[in-house]
């Protein structure tokens, strides 16, 4: 999309919209405009991934066909996209994000103003300058490490964005596995223990039923039903809907 095709803003009102992948990109960008003295509402967003894309450009026109096509391309990579035409609103939004990583597309003019202020924030992962004159903005952009190039075509941004998204995905997977390692180990030990048990199925059921009968909070009809129907199913039956009464499972 050529930036010159974006319709310039003709009002001093600020505008922000969030587009999620589940929405139709041609109708899902509902703008929220406020007067200069009004309280700026926060864009409603639904985070599907552990990162989101923020696009800041004073010339964004949600009705523009090139813009709609660009959003469609971007949504193949990042599910949640929030657009801004006002720099102050955008900065406030960025500052409020604490738990997700942010990829940011910014116009050359606005980028030169706000990127030096936000590029050190930990939630900002990568920044892509999108402009019509690459040579004008490369000089200041090359001084900022988080800027991943100055681009004149949205397709070029998509290529770089896809690489950065995959990197974030891999980092998240690594963190998840590190957190789950002890649980995984204990689960494996438990499975091996179960496999090594030499069990008499009939005796086990009898022992469980006898034990349940000692507890007055377990209805007798539930115990009887479980005892008569258990052998008609595989063990995984206990975990499938409709399962045996929870009280029986807990005692098991």
Q: Give per-residue pLDDT as tens, 143-178.
A: 999 999 999 999 999 999 999 998 887 776 655 555
Position 190 in a domain: no
* φ, ψ of residue 56 in degrees (nearest 5): -115, 120
Asked whether residue 21 carries a pLDDT value surpassing 90, the answer given is: no
Question: Who wins on pLDDT, 252 or 95?
Answer: 95
C-beta neighbour count of 184 within 10 angstroms: 10
* φ, ψ of residue 112 in degrees (nearest 5): -65, -25
Position 108 in a domain: yes
Name 237's Cβ contacts closer than 8 Å, sequence gap at least 6.
230, 243, 244
Question: pTM of the predicted model, to two decimals?
Answer: 0.56
Q: Number of structural domains, the chain?
A: 2
**Which range is least confidently modeled, 16-25, 60-69, 106-115, 167-176?**
16-25
Rounded Cα distance, 241 and 41, in Å: 43
| Tens digit of each residue's pLDDT (9 = 90 or more) over 176-216 | 555 556 666 667 676 666 666 565 667 777 887 887 787 66
Q: What is the CATH number of the domain that holds 149?
A: 3.40.50.2300
Asked whether residue 83 carries a pLDDT value surpassing 80, the answer given is: yes
Can you tell me whether residue 34 is helix, strand or coil? strand
As a whole number, the mean pLDDT across the chain is: 75
Position 247 in a domain: yes
Q: Does residue 242 have a cis peptide bond before it, meaning omega lies within 30 degrees of 0?
A: yes
Q: Give pLDDT, residue 199.
A: 57
**Which range is least confidently modeled, 5-14, 128-137, 153-162, 217-226?**
5-14
Please check whether residues 152 and 71 belong to one and the same domain: yes
Position 193 in a domain: no
Q: Give pLDDT, residue 204.
A: 76
Rounded Cα distance, 129 and 115, in Å: 10
Q: Give pLDDT, residue 178.
A: 54
226 confidence band (pLDDT: 50, 70, 90): confident
Q: Give pLDDT, residue 18.
A: 73
Please check whether residues 65 and 130 belong to one and the same domain: yes
Structure tokens at 13: 């009102």
219 confidence band (pLDDT: 50, 70, 90): confident
Rounded Cα distance, 113 and 210, in Å: 75
Quote the radius of gyration of the chain (alpha carbons, Å). Answer: 28
What secondary structure letter does DSSP report for 61? -
Q: Give pLDDT, residue 214.
A: 76
Question: Who wins on pLDDT, 28 or 213?
Answer: 213
Please check whether residues 168 and 214 belong to one and the same domain: no
Position 85 in a domain: yes
Rounded Cα distance, 115 and 13, in Å: 22
Percentage of the chain lying above the pLDDT 70 cut: 60
Please check whether residues 155 and 238 belong to one and the same domain: no
Q: Which helix (H) or strand (E) holds 104?
A: strand 101-107
Q: Give pLDDT, residue 184.
A: 66
| Tens digit of each residue's pLDDT (9 = 90 or more) over 32-72 | 333 333 333 444 443 346 889 999 999 999 999 999 999 99
Name 220's Cβ contacts closer than 8 Å, sequence gap at least 6.
213
Please check whether residues 119 and 77 belong to one and the same domain: yes
Range of the structural domain that residue 235 is part of: 201-251
């Amino acid at each position: 999309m050529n930036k010159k095709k974006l319709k310039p803003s003709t009002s001093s009102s600020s505008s922000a919209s969030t587009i999620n992948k589940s929405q139709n990109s041609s109708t899902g960008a509902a703008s929220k405009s406020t007067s200069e003295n009004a309280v700026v509402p926060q864009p409603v967003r639904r985070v599907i991934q552990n990162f989101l894309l923020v696009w800041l450009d004073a010339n964004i026109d949600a009705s523009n066909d090139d813009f709609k096509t660009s959003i469609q391309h971007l949504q193949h990579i990042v599910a949640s996209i929030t657009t801004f035409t006002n720099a102050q609103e955008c900065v406030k939004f960025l500052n409020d994000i604490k738990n997700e990583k942010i990829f940011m597309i910014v116009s050359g003019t606005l980028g030169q103003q706000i990127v030096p202020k936000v590029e050190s924030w930990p939630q900002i992962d990568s920044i892509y300058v999108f402009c019509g004159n690459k040579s004008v903005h490369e000089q200041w952009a090359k001084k900022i490490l988080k800027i991943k190039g100055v681009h004149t075509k949205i397709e070029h941004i998509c290529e770089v964005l896809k690489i950065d998204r995959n990197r974030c995905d891999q980092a998240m997977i690594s963190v998840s596995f590190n957190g789950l390692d002890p649980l995984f180990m204990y689960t494996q030990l438990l499975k091996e223990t179960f496999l090594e048990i030499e069990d008499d199925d009939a005796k086990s059921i009898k022992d469980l039923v006898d034990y349940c009968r000692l507890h007055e909070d377990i209805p007798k009809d539930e115990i009887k039903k479980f005892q008569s129907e258990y052998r008609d199913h595989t063990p995984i039956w206990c975990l499938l809907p409709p399962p045996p009464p929870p009280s029986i499972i807990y005692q098991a």
